[in-house]
Structure formats: C-alpha cells, structure tokens
Amino acid sequence: MHEFVSIIIANYNGKIYLDKCLLSLKNTKYSNFEIIVVDNNSSDGSISMIRQIYPYVKLIELKQNLGFGASSNLGAKEAKGHFYVFLNNDTIVTTPWLQELVRALTEEKTGPVAIAQSFLLRQDGNVDSSGDFIDRFGRSYSSLLKNPPVGREILSARAACMIVRKELFWKLGGFDEEFFVSYEDVHLGWKAWIAGYRVVLASNSVVYHLAGQTVQRLKSTINFHSMKNQTCTILLDFEFPLGIKSLFLLFPSYLPAINIRRKDVYNSNVYSNPILLTDILKTLFWISRHSLSLFRKYRQISRMRVRSTNDLAKMGLITHDLNEK
C-alpha cells in the first residue's frame, strides 16, 4: 500500500481554516503523498501564509474564482499521484485517515471501487456525513449513521474528503465545471455507479469537518447554484423520462417554501436565505440556455450506462424518502 497520492485542496478566502487543515496533515500516517492547494484568487492572505509556513505545498494561484469543480480539476491536472484526494480547506484529519482511504481502494475484494469517502465528523463528535444518497426525486442527502460498517456502499462521496482513482476520475469526466459549486461530487458518484463501479465509505478514515465555512459566506450565490446543479444532476443521471417526471413533481414542492426559512438538504444547515422565486426562474433560464450542452453530456452518460435507476434503487442507493439511511 505505497501508491503515491495527490491531496488537492481548493481554497477561497479560507486562511484560518486552511492553516489548521495543513497543520493536521503533518501528522498523517502515510508518507507517499503531495499537497496541492488551488487558490481561487483569495484576498485574505492565504497565499502568503502558505508560502511562509508551508513552502512544501504546491501552490496554484488563479486570477479569478473558478469555483470548486474547475479549480479542483486544474489541481488534478497538475497532480502526480495515482490517486487523487479532494479535501476541503475546513477539515482536520486524524493520523490514519489517508492510510485507511487508500486501503478502501486497494484492498476491496467485492468489486471495482472508484471512489471512497472518509467518515466525516463535526467538531463536537456528531456525524457530519457517513455517505450521500438520493431519494426518488433526485434530492441528495447526507446519511448520519453513527456506526457505519467499513466498506458501506454509498451513492456518492462528499468532496469534503474523498479519494478517487486517477484514471477513473478522468474517464468519468472529472468534476463538472459548469456546476461552479455544489453537487459536483454527487454527480461524479452517481456516474460511477452508472458506469459499473462502486463508491464506498472508509469508516476507519476519520476526518473532522467544520461544515461549509466558505459556503456559508457565499449563501446567496450557493442557493442558485445548488438549485441549478440539482436540476442538472436529475436531468443527466436519471434516464430521460424519469428525470422529466422527477422535475415536474419536484419543482411544485418548492412553491410553499418560497420566501421562508429553509433547510438545505445537501449541506444539512438551516439558512436564513429563503428559496427565492428568482432562483427558480434563473435555474430554468440557465437550463434553457445550456440545453445543447446538457444533451451532449446526457448522451455521454447514456453510452457508459450499465446500471439503471431501477438497479440502483434495488441496491438501496436511491431511496424512497429523504433521510432514509
């Protein structure tokens, strides 16, 4: 178990969290890795902090904020590892975290594993995520199972801390850069299952997650992208009739929540920002403008499909209700 690993961290004005993250990485019980930080034009001193305190970190400086997907893909293109680990800047790792993540990909005996997620805990010890699933409408939610078994099959791994095989990452198209932020990891995991691979939870790999600190500062932007990307994921990863049916049922369910406090299912946080009618209209307008691009992506996914939605439902990866697992 000596595979070279590239740890890729996308950063945007997360200096105080990134410092703690990089400090924790020094105690990692696995020596064969590199650290790459892709900075999305931060203005908080993140770059100077890395240069002064962590000169061994490979730093990629962007001239604008490209979002999580595009910046992570850029980091992966510069990476030398056989495996990519995508790690949020607001995480603190434990000593064996990386060793156990690598083990999840290299010692699995029951089928090809493309992606694995660490067991994510909050600072207070409560569960942040023991894997992501989707319900029958395509809404993503994070499982909060307290004692998940090692190798638990999950629909998708949270990019707060996930490992993926290099060749499969690019075979699956990497992170969708049009998403900007939110749902990129769900889409990637769902595609992995569609293509015949597996996504699992590395329960022995424990990582503490401060849960979306950068996202919290961009709430108004995130609200739109979250809705847009959820819609795109539904259209791309369900078979076409199921995707359309899901949206016809899903969008009316938003109407009673317009202009009231809402719970963001994907991040499990209560935001003061309401669901805005403008976000729904902007999403529909964006979809119409990018319909040709979406159609091309849908065809690519259809060509790699070896598992149907019905197959994934029988496997328990697509559940009947939210928060079922």
Q: Identify the pLDDT of residue 271.
A: 40
Q: Identify the pLDDT of residue 257.
A: 52
Answer for the pair 134, 325: CB distance below 8 angstroms, yes or no: no
| Domain map (residue ranges) of the chain | 219-311
Q: What are 144-150's contacts with CB under 8 Å, separation 24+?
A: 144/268, 144/323, 145/325, 148/119, 148/201, 148/203, 149/203, 150/201, 150/202, 150/203, 150/204
Q: Identify the pLDDT of residue 191.
A: 98
CB-based burial, 2-35: b 16+ in 10 Å, e otherwise: eeebbbbbbbbbbbebbbbbbebbeebebeebbb
Q: Identify the pLDDT of residue 217.
A: 54
pTM over 0.75, yes/no: yes
pLDDT tens by residue, the chain, 325 residues? 589 999 999 999 999 999 999 999 999 999 999 999 999 999 999 999 999 999 999 999 999 999 999 999 999 999 999 999 999 999 999 999 999 999 999 987 667 899 999 999 999 999 999 999 999 999 999 999 999 999 999 999 999 999 999 999 999 999 999 999 999 999 999 999 999 999 999 999 999 999 655 555 556 678 889 989 999 999 999 999 999 999 988 877 666 555 544 444 444 443 444 567 788 889 999 999 999 999 999 999 999 999 999 999 999 999 999 999 9
Amino acid at residue number 303: R
Nearest-CA neighbor of 155 among 308, 265, 316, 322?
316
DSSP state of 258: B
Q: Identify the pLDDT of residue 30.
A: 95
Distance of CA 24 to CAs 11, 29, 55, 78, 138, Å?
Answer: 16, 11, 15, 23, 35
- Stretch (H or E) spanning 116: strand 113-121
Q: Identify the pLDDT of residue 277.
A: 77
Cα angle, residue 82 at apex, residues 81 and 86 outer, rounded to 5°: 65
Answer for the pair 192, 175: CB distance below 8 angstroms, yes or no: no
